[in-house]
C-alpha cells in the first residue's frame, strides 16, 4: 500500500452531515418567516440550488451569485413577497448551527491526526463552515482550513489546489491523498492536480467508468485500512 504524508478532507457529505443541517436550517428559517415550505417548493429549491452549485464548480458564477440568487428566484417563481437576500442571511446563520457529524468522523480524525497532517478543502460558505467545524469540535484536528470563498477559486480548479499547496509548503503531491464524496469537485479536483483520490461513497453509487479513482470506500472506517 502506498504511503501518504498529507491528507485533504472535504467537509460536507464527508465529515459533516450537510443534508441534515440543510433540512433543519430550511425548516427553521421558513418558520421564522411564517412561510409554509411545501414539498413542491422544497424540490424546486433543490433544483435551483443544484444547478447554481454546478455552475459555480464550472467557474461560470461566483459564490455570492449562488447564495443571493437561490431564494430570490424561488420566491419569484412561487409568488412570495419576501426579501430573498435577507432570508439567505438568516438561513446561513441557521445552517452554521448544523453541528451534525457523519458516522465515525470524529473517531477517524482522532486517530489520523496523530500520524498525519490533515487539511480541510471545502467549497462551502466561509462563515458557515468555520462555525460548523468549531461547533462539532473537529477544527482542532486540522493544520489548516481552505475555504473557496476565502481563496477566490473553488474545487475542482487547479488554481484552488495550487493555492492550498503553496500554503502547505514543501508538500509532496505523490504522497498526498484527497478524501471526499463529490465526484465533480473532490475527485475531479484531485485528478486535475495529479494527486491520489479516495471517493467516499456511502450510498454505493455506481462507479463512473470514465474517472480514474484511486480508492473507493463506503464507510469512513475503511480509511484506516488504506493508510
Contact (Cβ atoms closer than 8 angstroms) between residue 142 and residue 122: no
Residue 12's alpha-carbon distances to 28, 83, 123, 191, 225, in angstroms, are 20, 27, 9, 20, 23
Is 150 assigned a catalytic role? no
Q: Which residues, listed in sequence order, are joined to residue 12 by a DSSP beta bridge?
A: 16
Compute the distance between CA of residue 30 and CA of residue 211 in angstroms, rounded to an integer. Answer: 39
User: Residue 190 has what DSSP assignment?
Assistant: H
Upper half-sphere CA count for residue 160 (Cβ side, 13 Å): 27
DSSP string computed for 71-126: HHHHHHHTT--S-HHHHHHHHHHHHTT---BPTTHHHHHHHHTTTS-EEEEE-S-H
Active centre residues (catalytic): 10
Amino acid at each position: 500500500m502506498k504511503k501518504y504524508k498529507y491528507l485533504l478532507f472535504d467537509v460536507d457529505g464527508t465529515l459533516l452531515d450537510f443534508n441534515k443541517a440543510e433540512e433543519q436550517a430550511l425548516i427553521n428559517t421558513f418558520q421564522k418567516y411564517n412561510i409554509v415550505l411545501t414539498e413542491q417548493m422544497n424540490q424546486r429549491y433543490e433544483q435551483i440550488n443544484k444547478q447554481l452549485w454546478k455552475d459555480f464548480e464550472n467557474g461560470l458564477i461566483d459564490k455570492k451569485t449562488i447564495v443571493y440568487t437561490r431564494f430570490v428566484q424561488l420566491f419569484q417563481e412561487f409568488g412570495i413577497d419576501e426579501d430573498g437576500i435577507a432570508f439567505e442571511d438568516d438561513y446561513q446563520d441557521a445552517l452554521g448551527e448544523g453541528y451534525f457529524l457523519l458516522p465515525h468522523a470524529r473517531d477517524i480524525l482522532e486517530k489520523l491526526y496523530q500520524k498525519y497532517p490533515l487539511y480541510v478543502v471545502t467549497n462551502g460558505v466561509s462563515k458557515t463552515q468555520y462555525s460548523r467545524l468549531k461547533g462539532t469540535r473537529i477544527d482542532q484536528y486540522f493544520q489548516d482550513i481552505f475555504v473557496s470563498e476565502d481563496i477566490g477559486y473553488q474545487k475542482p480548479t487547479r488554481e484552488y489546489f495550487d493555492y492550498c499547496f503553496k500554503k502547505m509548503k514543501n508538500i509532496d503531491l505523490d504522497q498526498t491523498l484527497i478524501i471526499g464524496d463529490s465526484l465533480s469537485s473532490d475527485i475531479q479536483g484531485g485528478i486535475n492536480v495529479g494527486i491520489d483520490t479516495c471517493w467516499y461513497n456511502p450510498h454505493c453509487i455506481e462507479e463512473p467508468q470514465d474517472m480514474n479513482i484511486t480508492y473507493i470506500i463506503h464507510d469512513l472506517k475503511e480509511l484506516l485500512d488504506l493508510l
